[in-house]
Structure 1
């Protein structure tokens, strides 16, 4: 596997022309309006991962990256898609859908546990171990360490395989239809977060 590092945009032609894309983001924090988008990770499921870094003050033009993210014919795989969709829409101006979210799929199938982190999934379903040591590091610095790059790449490295395993479980348990309905709603959920309803359940009585 090879990790490719790019500044401000994805080079043309580095991804396969069709098929699902694994996508993740790194930001300065968890508040979308406040904490800028620093890094987008993307993989077509081959042995390569691509990291696109955005500098402070970036205009987030990134026409090549936006083109593949906005392509409605390509499924995007995420772990906790709600956050990534909001960050990508807020900073890049694209809704990176359609969506498959491995966290939602895990919650609908692995009801025997409350551990639905990416590390938990890769350990149990794939027998692969990933480190989360760099999860809370400074993604906005002038240089990204090798440890940060490896961590960022690992966040998309296993999503295609996880989708395969979780789809089998969703189908086995008869929950594929409700999972798909959740996935289809995620872009709207992300827009609600951006618009100020992140902490409010608009479906509740009160």
Structure 2
């Protein structure tokens, strides 16, 4: 496994294998607009992870990265798509869909637990113990540590394998179509977050 770090865009000669591409982000916090996007992680599941770093003051133009993420023929795999697509929409100006969210799939089929974090999912389904020590580290620091790079890469390293396991469970429980409907809605849910409805259920009947 090799982790490649790039500054502010993917190099033009980086190529990804056909099929889904795993995507994750790191930011200064969880509120787009207040908390800036610092890192976008990518993997095609073939053993290499690419990290695209945005420093304070970056213009987020990133044409090569945007071309990849905005490709409507390329399925993007996330663990918490609602946040990732939202913050990329806010800073990169693209909706990185169509998408598949392993956290959403987990909530639909692992109803025997309330533990749907990536660490729990990878441990149960793949038998791998992920370290989350760097989860709350400073992603806006002048330089990323080796531990931060490895943590960021591990967030996309297992998403292809998780999708395969979750797809089997979705089919077994008869929830494949329901899951797809949820995935299709997530871009709109992210836009509601950005527009100021992060917590309200606008579909609820409240009087």
The TM-score bracket by the shorter chain reads over 0.9
Residue 165 of structure 1 deviates from its aligned partner by 0.4
The corresponding residue for 2:46 is 46
C-alpha distance in 1 between matches for 2:130 and 2:49: 15
Paired residues for 1:119-134 under 5 Å: 119-134=119-134
The corresponding residue for 1:153 is 153
Contact 1:15/1:44, CA 8 A, preserved across alignment = no
C-alpha distance in 1 between matches for 2:136 and 2:51: 17
Residue 17 of structure 1 deviates from its aligned partner by 5.0
The corresponding residue for 1:141 is 141
Contact 1:28/1:37, CA 8 A, preserved across alignment = yes
C-alpha distance in 2 between matches for 1:14 and 1:177: 34
Residue 18 of structure 1 deviates from its aligned partner by 2.3
**2:32 aligned counterpart, secondary structure:** coil
C-alpha distance in 2 between matches for 1:31 and 1:97: 20
Deviations 1:16-75 (A, max 9, x none): 252100000000001111000000000111100000000101100000000000000000
C-alpha distance in 1 between matches for 2:102 and 2:60: 27
Paired residues for 1:61-72 under 5 Å: 61-72=61-72
The corresponding residue for 1:111 is 111
| More displaced stretch, 8-17 vs 167-176 | 8-17
**1:164 aligned counterpart, secondary structure:** helix
C-alpha distance in 1 between matches for 2:13 and 2:73: 17
Residue 178 of structure 1 deviates from its aligned partner by 0.3
**2:38 aligned counterpart, secondary structure:** strand
**1:197 aligned counterpart, secondary structure:** coil
TM-score normalised according to structure 2 size: 0.98
Does residue 3 in structure 1 map to residue 3 in structure 2?
Answer: yes
**1:38 aligned counterpart, secondary structure:** strand
The unaligned stretches of length 5 or more in structure 1 are: none
**2:24 aligned counterpart, secondary structure:** strand
Contact 1:79/1:118, CA 8 A, preserved across alignment = yes
C-alpha distance in 2 between matches for 1:171 and 1:88: 30
Paired residues for 1:1-206 under 5 Å: 1-206=1-206
